[in-house]
């Protein structure tokens, strides 16, 4: 059995103009992400409420890091009732993350640009790849600060625990 792998590159980008995001994005999703008790270094358990064009979905995701580029990702859809029940297991030492995800097609791939509520220093751009060797491009309107694929401080799980890291190295 093949493991469900998530292979992605992650970039820190200057906060894009909303007009550019609206112009280029095929999708816009409001996300509320809550990390659950038992989240450990190298692994995470989270629930997510996503709203897109008035439709709300709920998911549960468990990720286990293989390396900084690849993770095993097991995701399943939840009912609203299951979601509400799992919220009771929220890790009190972690912040709930609120973000807007702008999905911008780039060739055969999609760049997911995450803009975090209440945070204006930078945004994230992630590109999921079918293999680690797959070539990719980022949207031309983005100003890339640097790649952070291998910097654990820039994972959503770390941000929920430690807050947003400063831009300086």
- For each of the chain's 169 residues, which pLDDT tens digit applies? 567 888 999 999 999 999 999 999 999 999 999 999 986 667 789 999 999 999 999 999 998 888 878 888 899 999 999 999 999 999 999 999 999 999 999 999 999 999 999 898 899 999 999 999 999 999 999 999 999 999 989 989 889 999 998 877 5
Contact residues for 20 (Cβ-Cβ < 8 A; gap 6+)? 141
**At 161, phi and psi to the nearest 5?**
-90, -45
The pLDDT of residue 70 is 84
Spatial neighbors of 157 by CB under 8 A, at least 6 apart, are: 35, 39, 44, 46, 94
pTM of the predicted model as reported, rounded to 2 decimal places: 0.92
User: In whole angstroms, what is the distance from residue 40 CA to residue 158 CA?
Assistant: 10
Q: Are 156 and 45 in contact (CB under 8 A)?
A: no
Identify the pLDDT of residue 4: 81
């Amino acid at each position: 059995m093949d493991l469900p792998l998530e292979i992605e590159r992650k970039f820190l980008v200057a906060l894009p103009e909303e007009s550019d995001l609206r112009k280029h994005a095929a999708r816009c999703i409001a996300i509320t992400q809550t990390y659950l008790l038992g989240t450990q270094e190298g692994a995470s358990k989270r629930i997510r409420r996503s709203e897109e064009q008035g439709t709300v979905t709920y998911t549960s995701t468990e990720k286990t890091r293989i390396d900084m580029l690849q993770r095993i990702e097991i995701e399943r859809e939840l009912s609203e009732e299951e979601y509400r029940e799992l919220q009771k297991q929220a890790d009190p030492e972690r912040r709930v993350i609120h973000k807007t995800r702008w999905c911008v097609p780039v060739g055969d791939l999609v760049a997911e640009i995450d803009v975090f509520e209440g945070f204006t220093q930078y945004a994230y751009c992630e590109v999921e790849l079918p293999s680690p060797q797959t070539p990719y491009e980022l949207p031309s309107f983005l100003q890339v600060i640097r790649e952070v694929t291998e910097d654990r401080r820039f994972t959503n799980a770390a941000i929920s625990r430690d807050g947003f890291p400063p831009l300086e190295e």
